[in-house]
Chains A and B, each alone.
Chain A
Amino acid sequence: MDHVILTSMAVLGGIALISAIILYLASKKFAVSEDARILEIDAVLPQANCGGCGRAGCHDFANACLAASEEEFGNLNCPVGGHPVMNKIAAILGYAAVEREPTVSVLRCNGTCENAPAKIMYDGVSSCRIANHISSGLSGCPDGCLRLGDCVKACPFDALHIDEATGIPVVNEEKCTSCGACVRICPRQLFEIRPRGKNGRRVYVACRNTQKGAVARKNCKAACIACGKCAKICPEITVENNLSYIPPAIDAERFGTELAKACPTGAIVATPENADE
């Protein structure tokens, strides 16, 4: 029996040895030479592969950083890691660090179950993009939130959830990295990446409806009716297409509460809600 065991060991050992040699040769022959700094940058990046930077993933972003000149580097940003990460990358590449304001995603619709009551039922696949395709939605507002949560599914950081009481998604500020996945997925472009503001103070119009005031109000109590009251307070606010827009540059600390109070429909949202209490 001895020779049987010996032969099998020899045969298996031989196969293992030959395979090892082939593997070694193959790894040498097909080795991809990469700049060592790519690995360093990769190590700094969050590796969420969210695509928030506009690249196919973190490795692709690392490549882009490496290829960029110092000026071009200023335009690159990892929204997830924010400037701590960008500073580290800048240090690896020997570039000067760039300052950038922290941002967050906001939902520009206040079409809650209460403000915009459902007039019909929807029986179909739970996808805003499909629902948007077949009808204007439950409340009848053609620009409002469809409440089916494509953004929740698209968010790679679990920063969105549908509030059961209101039916519309809520952004968790702590988790939101402003990667922009919600902006890209929403069929009605309801999300906007805006500066977080000092102490979380922001002010924006939570409405995208461009119908005439009376028509919009019929479907939703919180619709912007383009009355222009906000524009009287801040001349920078634009009112176009029956819709008012507050540019991110408006000082929320100074005007936020005033604007929100002036809005007759409640379309203007100032955060935090209890700012003055």
Chain B
Amino acid sequence: MNNLKTFSMGGIHPDKYKITTASLIIDAGLPETVYIPVKQHIGAPAKILVQKGDKVKVGTLLADSDGVVSADVHSSVSGEVLKVEALESGSGYLENMITIKVEGDDFEPSIDRSEDISREIPYTPEQIVQKLREAGIVGMGGAGYPTPIKTSLPEGKKADCLIVNGIECEPFLTADDRLMIEKAEQIVIGAKIINKALGIQNAVIAVDENKPQAIEALSKITRTYVGVNVQTCATKYPQGGEKQLIAAVAKREVPSGRLPIDVGCIVQNVGTVFAIYEAVMKNKPLFERILTVSGDACRHPANYRVRVGTPVSYLIEKSGGLSEETAQVVLGGPMMGSSVTNINAPVTKLTSGVLMLSDKLAHKGDETDCIRCGKCAMACPMGLEPFLIARLMRAGQTEDLRGAHVLDCIECGCCAYTCPARVPLLDYCKLAKIELKKKK
């Protein structure tokens, strides 16, 4: 196991808490009402096409992408549109959402609901991109970058390396792990689809070594597919970060302010690749995803297949309800996920987990004086010096921040995690970014 790949700069090894590795993906079922946000991606919100009283089916287009960086939004249930208005999202800010009352479970007839695996890809690259656009596929790792843009090469750019991101380095989350175990062949075909769209021959599925079952399942399949290989990586946070993964697998560094395509790489999350398979081969728009409901205060942790728009509170009820010791409900992983103010907020295309964390685990210690240990600089995967950024921010020396490369910060939280003096270093970095952007 000496040839495990990993990135060389920084990184940490938090406790894994992968309690749900062995739990099969269960269907979460249908809530009474779903709230579907029209902005589940980076870029402009989609244009709403339905109004109050409209009847919709599973897969009906609700909102049309507005502009290049945007994505279609589809209905995840069948029923009646109750209202189209701004509602409180997880952060407490209002967002435009389409509220649908669930009636039955009728699918649009174009969706192929059979379980058979389609292996032949009869489409041209243009057709593939078109299908992805129609299915509203976005990067499901968390960023929400519309996938059609990533699967069509920009003018003058060349890609030679597709990396399928099977690294789930956030503690607690196991949704990608389970997906790779249960849908290995679909993921491999999905990778072939992206390869065809981009005209590349090879794809690497990167999985970290703490997922032996997924590695085994994928390796068995890739034997019969030419050009798709599984690469085992060492377990280290934040290996799932795009720049870190490219550094680990392809040994290339994406320059500051550039995109992976600038070094010839394309990274797609396994969840996205599976959605791509379903969109292209099964005509299925992106209206459901796999997520992990877990946390140290969660009574019955599990991996669920969830319809987009399902309220978080529905999933919490499914998993045994909000326990006494729950101090925080976090959407996403515990390192980068956001804590919610409102548990009725819906699950979106980007929600990789719902975590219930106790005060014991998620308590922020009292800040003490920096002891100048330098652990933050050692842990930073971008080679920044968080202690310096914090010092500059405290002193109000915002003009020196650019020299500290704050804008390269990926907000992974390694610095704040590792700080023995409990200095909220990431908060200072975020503040520094806000200040710098204000100045521009």
A touches B in complex, CB < 8 A: yes
The interface of chain A, by Cβ under 8 A from chain B, is 119-120, 123-125, 127, 129-130, 133-137, 140, 142, 211, 215
A125–B427 contact, CB under 8 A? yes
Name 28 A/B residue pairs within 8 A (Cβ), A-sorted.
Answer: A119-B341, A120-B341, A123-B363, A123-B364, A124-B364, A124-B424, A124-B427, A125-B367, A125-B428, A127-B431, A129-B434, A130-B427, A130-B431, A133-B430, A133-B434, A134-B91, A135-B91, A135-B92, A135-B93, A135-B339, A135-B341, A136-B88, A136-B92, A136-B93, A136-B341, A137-B92, A140-B341, A215-B94
Q: Are B341 and A127 interface neighbours, CB within 8 A?
A: no
Please give, as numbers and ranges, the residues of chain B lying within 8 Å of A133 by CB-CB distance.
430, 434
B interface, CB within 8 angstroms of A: 86, 88, 91-94, 338-339, 341-342, 363-364, 367, 424, 427-428, 430-431, 434
Closest to A211 in B: B94
- Chain A, interface SS category: loop
A52, chain B: closest CB distance, angstroms: 15
By beta carbon, the residue of chain B nearest A143 is B93
Report whether B94 and A125 are in contact in the complex, using a CB–CB cutoff of 8 Å: no
- B427: chain A residues at CB < 8 Å are 124-125, 127, 130
Find the A residue at minimum CB distance from B427. A125
With most chain A CB atoms within 10 A of its CB, the pick from B91, B338, B427, B430 is: B427
Q: Are B91 and A136 in contact (CB under 8 A)?
A: yes
- What 19 additional pairs, Cβ within 8 angstroms, besides A123-B363, A140-B92? A119-B341, A123-B364, A124-B427, A125-B367, A125-B427, A125-B428, A127-B427, A129-B431, A130-B427, A130-B431, A133-B434, A134-B91, A135-B93, A136-B92, A140-B88, A140-B342, A142-B92, A142-B93, A142-B94
Nearest-CB residue, chain B, relative to A140: B92
Q: Are A134 and B431 in contact (CB under 8 A)?
A: no
**Distance in angstroms between the alpha carbons of A130 and B427 in the assembled complex:** 7
**B residues in contact with A215, CB < 8 Å:** 94
Q: How far apart sit A152 and B141, CA to CA, in the bound complex (Å)?
A: 39
A127 to chain B: which residues have CB within 8 Å?
A: 427, 431
Q: Tell me how far the C-beta of B368 lies from the nearest C-beta in chain A, rounded to whole angstroms.
A: 14
Tell me which residues across on chain B come within 8 A of A129, comparing CB atoms: 431, 434
B363 to chain A, nearest CB (A): 7
Which A-chain residue is minimally distant from B340 (CB atoms)?
Answer: A135
Closest chain A residue to B92, Cβ basis: A136
Which residue of chain A has its CB nearest to the CB of B338?
A: A134
Report chain B residues within 8 Å CB of A124: 364, 424, 427
Min CB gap B406→A, angstroms: 14
A130 contacts which of B86, B339, B342, B430 (Cβ < 8 Å)?
Answer: B430
Q: How far is the CA of A140 from the CA of B91 in the complex (A)?
A: 9
Looking at A125, A140, A215, the one whose CB has the most chain B CB atoms below 10 A away is A125
In the complex, the chain A residue whose C-beta lies closest to that of B438 is: A184
What are the residues of chain A within 8 A of B88 when measuring CB–CB? 136, 140
Residues of A within 8 A of B428 (CB): 125
Q: Which 8 residue pairs spanning A and B have beta carbons closest together?
A: A136-B92, A125-B427, A125-B424, A135-B91, A135-B92, A120-B341, A136-B93, A130-B427
Smallest CB gap from A120: residue in B:
B341
Partner of B339, one of A134, A140, A142, A211: A134
**Please, which residue of chain A has its CB at the minimum distance from the CB of B89?**
A136
Report how far A130 CA is from B435 CA in the complex, Å: 11
Instruction: Tell me which residues across on chain A come within 8 A of B341, comparing CB atoms.
Output: 119-120, 135-136, 140
**Could you tell me the distance between the alpha carbons of A215 and B94 in the complex, rounded to whole angstroms?**
10
Most chain A CB inside 10 Å of its own CB: which residue of B92, B341, B367, B424: B92
Contacting residues, chain A, for B338 (C-beta < 8 A): 134
